Amino acid sequence: PNIISTEKNERDFALSPTGKEIFYSLVLPKSNFSAIIYLYHDGAFWSQTQVAPFSGEYSDLEPAYSPDGNSLFFISKRPLTTEDKTNDWNIWYVSKKGKGWGSPQPVDTLINTTGDEYYPSVAENGNLYFTANKKSGMGAEDIYFSKFENGKYTKPINPGSGVNSETWEFNAFIAPDESYMLFSSFNREDGFGGGDLYISFRENDTTWTKAKNLGPDINSDKLDYCPAISPDGKYLFFTSQRTDPAINNHRKKSLAKIINLANGIENGNGNIYWVAFNPDVYR
């Protein structure tokens, strides 16, 4: 709190395998602009937050490390080419270059289309999981994955009804070994509110178990999304728009109290939360 999660609208969370770098997104209210923010640990203290060196010009969101820490994936509305006027979300990445990062590069056009692609997550073998709204999909938005073979991405695959449905599925995190997937969905019968986190386990190359809601200990009646697991596999980070219970407790509030609630961390803007997590509990 008050370092990453503030009264502003923060979302997404990427922790480096070394545990010494953090990237997240900051979204400006009532605008279409967002930027990727980062901080680092110098061995004694965490640095001040600052705009990532590759961000701040175009709208960028949803940073995600590759498991080896050598690449950072994210989405951006920056043009794919000098002639690109689509202004859609595409998946990009930067590669480690010394102590910094190289220039942003878009992933293959088999993945980036004239539509929107969101929330990249990368397995140890390079397979890329992401969200897209395709005419061939099962619902409004679906989760897809593309195998990384011989240095190239292959045609995206829909993982099927264990994960996707006729409603919205989005923002998936894939375990490094692809044994399970976390994602958000809303308008499901077992949901608690604006959007819940679910888990599905991989059975084989094309089949996933029926997704299970992570339950009320993690989900709320507000939007819960953008899951990520710490590199050691022990903690779940996610974004939530939950609010301070005092906002809607039907008690008369002074002006000072209202201002304090408006400027408080849980004012309805996005915040990043974490909790100890064991996927095997849901098997």
The verdict on residue 145 lying in a domain is yes
Angle at 207 between CA 129 and CA 147, to 5 degrees: 35
C-alpha triplet 51, 57, 59: angle, nearest 5°: 90
Query: Whole-structure pTM over 0.85, yes or no?
Result: yes
**What Cα–Cα distance (Å) separates residue 24 from each residue in 15, 60, 62, 128?**
9, 10, 7, 19
> How far is Cα 180 from Cα 273, in angstroms, rounded to an integer?
21
- Which residues on neighbouring strands pair with residue 15, listed in sequence order? 22
Q: Judge residue 280's burial from the number of C-beta atoms within 10 Å of its C-beta, 0-12 exposed, 13-18 middle, 19 or more buried.
A: exposed
Spatial separation of the C-alpha atoms in residues 201 and 160, rounded to whole Å: 12
Closest C-alpha among 71, 156, 172 to residue 120? 172
3, part of any domain: no
Q: Name the burial class of residue 216, with classes exposed (0-12), middle (13-18) and buried (19+) by CB atoms within 10 angstroms of its CB.
A: exposed
pLDDT tens per residue across span 130-176: 999 998 899 889 999 999 999 999 999 999 999 999 999 999 999 99
Give the torsion through C-alpha atoms of 4, 10, 11, 13, to 10 deg.
-20
pLDDT of residue 2: 76
Would you state the pLDDT for residue 30? 84
Inside any domain, residue 17? yes
Residue 27 structural domain: 9-282
Q: How do residues 102-113 score in pLDDT, each as one tens digit?
A: 999 999 999 999
Residue 153 lies in a domain: yes
pLDDT one-digit tens code per residue, 186-239? 999 999 988 999 999 999 878 999 999 999 999 999 999 999 999 999 999 999
Bridge partners, 61 (sequence order): 75
Residue 4 domain-assigned (yes or no): no
What's the number of domains the chain is made of?
A: 1
CATH number at residue 77: 2.120.10.30
Residue 2 domain flag: no
What percentage of the chain exceeds 90 in pLDDT?
Answer: 91
